[in-house]
């Protein structure tokens, strides 16, 4: 369903959404730099205080699909209002926290509210923009993500060094400035569905996601438990009259391909901002403040080119943008695997290629998947897409951390081009990412690329008949 809003109003709404996404992304990444200080203050291990980040991702993933489902039943302006107020409440609690438990409660409330933002970032472009301008709208959401990735580490480093880590919560309070604009520009659109909300199905899905993410670092028993609960969830949605997710959604072959692609893309591309700080710390021996500045050019480039990628998708097709993105990511991972221990300046240049590629491929896949969904499944369908992103990211972060913890001792290089130097484990991870990117490219071609090619092949005969 596309809402017939004036184009000028829709563009203003996207600018507000871009601003909100920037703050949401900053909130997600800033605490990674503060974990050592929080660990010292509360006399906890890094793994214990890392729950401030892990819980955020976990609740974010569950909340994204929940808000997506609710968006089919309630007005967007009401959902956004609720989400942003809960986001701000969590920020206030975290800012006033005197114990780790209180800080964790604040962080969980932040995630519960902020999860409305990725859901809206998928739904608003679909509802407020016609098909021919949807790529440009999705490009603006990519710009917001890139700005958040760029500003988050720098702002965090400045606040931690000049004030204290609790002030990281205060940054998120700025999000309240966007609330009046959402109330104004979203209007009074009517819900597209009046079905009941399947809380049992939603709860089973949430437990499945939680157990799956926790199993990465806590053993196979949680994975088996996740599979058991997933089975119960499948039984539930098949038996319920109005299930949380209609089983027919998964009968859509292109949509399920899109979910798989989104999962793999998120898992591989999150290496650009998860592995990079570790690489710059362990191999290049850079202090935290300089790591933030090394990451800025890449995120700034993604912000600069993100909207252009969306316009390219509208003008030349999603496949065109996806192939450019895959090329950039392949070059980035090959260079990182080969010059792992080189100058931080070179690393910064390589990351520019990867971050631009990431923003392009996210636009292409999101735009391609959005076209496979009927109007009554847009909310939950795009919410599931966001959830797949966060699950892929959460699992990948756990795997990357485990791999780095193994260290480079007694590990041979898998890259024949890798020279002598430290960082063999990082080089090997990037070699694996090269392979994963080739798989992503093949899956995209199989699911969406061939259709575009067939469409192009029919155009001359159509034109000749005009």
Judge whether 75 and 120 are in contact, CB under 8 Å: no
Mean pLDDT for the stretch of residues 312-338:
90
pLDDT above 90 covers a percentage of the chain that reads 14
- Count other Cβ atoms within 10 Å, centred on residue 98: 8
Mean pLDDT for the stretch of residues 338-356:
88
Least confident of 20-34, 144-158, 171-185: 144-158
pLDDT digits (tens, 9 = 90+) for 61-114: 788 888 888 887 788 888 999 999 999 999 999 999 889 889 989 998 998 998
Dig out the tokens for 370 from the structure: 């959005």
Mean pLDDT for the stretch of residues 339-353:
88
Q: Is the pLDDT of residue 464 over 60?
A: no
Least confident of 205-209, 253-257, 421-425: 421-425
Give 174's DSSP letter: G
pLDDT digits (tens, 9 = 90+) for 125-135: 878 887 777 77
Q: Is the pLDDT of residue 287 over 80?
A: no
Predicted pLDDT at 450: 60
Mean pLDDT for the stretch of residues 12-27:
87
Q: What is the mean pLDDT of the chain?
A: 81
Contacts of 66 (CB under 8 A, 6+ apart): 115, 202, 206, 383
Least confident of 63-67, 281-285, 376-380: 376-380
The angle, 0 to 180 degrees and rounded to 10, between the axes of the packed helices 116-128 and 378-406 is 140
More confident: 402 or 317: 317
CA distance 141 to 149: 13
Judge whether 63 and 79 are in contact, CB under 8 Å: no
CA torsion sign for 425, 299, 158, 166 is negative
Mean pLDDT for the stretch of residues 168-181:
90
Judge whether 100 and 422 are in contact, CB under 8 Å: no
Mean pLDDT for the stretch of residues 264-275:
84
Q: Is the pLDDT of residue 465 over 60?
A: no
Predicted pLDDT at 408: 60
SS3 assignment, position 58: helix
Predicted pLDDT at 407: 67
Band (pLDDT 50/70/90 cuts) for residue 192 is low
Most confidently predicted of 86-90, 268-272, 339-343, 461-465: 86-90
Predicted pLDDT at 421: 63
Predicted pLDDT at 9: 78
Predicted pLDDT at 460: 39
Mean pLDDT for the stretch of residues 214-229:
81
């Amino acid at each position: 369903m596309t809402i017939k809003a004036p184009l000028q109003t829709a563009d203003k709404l996207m600018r507000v959404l871009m601003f909100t996404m920037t703050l949401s992304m900053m909130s997600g990444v800033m605490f990674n730099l503060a974990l050592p200080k929080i660990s010292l203050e509360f006399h906890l291990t890094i793994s214990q205080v890392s729950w401030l980040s892990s819980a955020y991702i976990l609740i974010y993933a569950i909340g994204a699909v929940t808000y997506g489902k609710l968006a089919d039943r309630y007005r967007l302006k009401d959902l956004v209002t609720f989400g942003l107020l809960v986001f701000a409440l969590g920020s206030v609690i975290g800012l006033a926290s005197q114990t780790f438990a209180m800080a964790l409660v604040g962080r969980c409330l932040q995630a519960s509210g902020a999860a409305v933002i990725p859901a809206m970032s998928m739904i608003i472009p679909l509802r407020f923009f016609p098909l021919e301008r949807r790529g440009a709208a999705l490009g603006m959401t990519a710009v917001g993500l890139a700005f958040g990735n760029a500003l988050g580490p720098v702002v965090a480093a400045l606040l931690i060094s000049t004030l204290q880590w609790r002030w990281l919560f205060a940054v998120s309070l700025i999000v309240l400035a966007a609330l009046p604009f959402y109330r104004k520009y979203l209007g009074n659109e009517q819900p597209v569905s009046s079905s009941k909300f399947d809380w049992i199905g939603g709860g089973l899905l949430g437990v499945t996601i939680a157990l799956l993410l926790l199993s990465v670092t806590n053993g196979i028993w949680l994975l088996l438990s996740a599979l058991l609960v997933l089975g119960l969830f499948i039984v539930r949605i098949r038996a319920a009259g109005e299930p949380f997710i209609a089983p027919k959604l998964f009968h859509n072959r292109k949509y399920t391909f899109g979910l798989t692609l989104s999962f793999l893309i998120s898992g591989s591309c999150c290496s650009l901002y998860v592995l990079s700080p570790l690489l710059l710390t362990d191999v290049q021996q850079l202090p935290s403040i300089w790591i933030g500045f090394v990451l800025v050019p890449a995120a700034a480039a993604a912000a600069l080119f993100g909207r252009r990628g969306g316009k390219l998708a509208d003008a030349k097709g999603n496949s065109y943008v996806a192939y450019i993105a895959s090329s950039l990511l392949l070059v980035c991972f090959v260079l990182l695997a080969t010059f792992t221990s080189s100058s931080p300046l070179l690393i910064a240049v390589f990351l520019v290629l990867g971050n631009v590629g990431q923003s392009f491929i996210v636009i292409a896949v999101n735009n391609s998947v959005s076209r496979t969904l009927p109007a009554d499944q847009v909310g939950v369908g795009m919410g599931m897409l966001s959830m797949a992103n966060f699950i892929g990211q959460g699992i990948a972060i756990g795997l990357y951390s485990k791999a780095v913890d193994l260290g480079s001792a007694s590990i041979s290089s898998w890259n024949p081009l890798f020279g002598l130097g430290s960082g063999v484990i990082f080089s090997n991870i990037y070699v694996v990412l090269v392979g994963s990117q080739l798989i992503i490219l093949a899956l995209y071609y199989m699911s969406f690329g061939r259709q575009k090619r067939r469409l192009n092949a029919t155009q001359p005969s159509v034109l000749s008949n005009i």
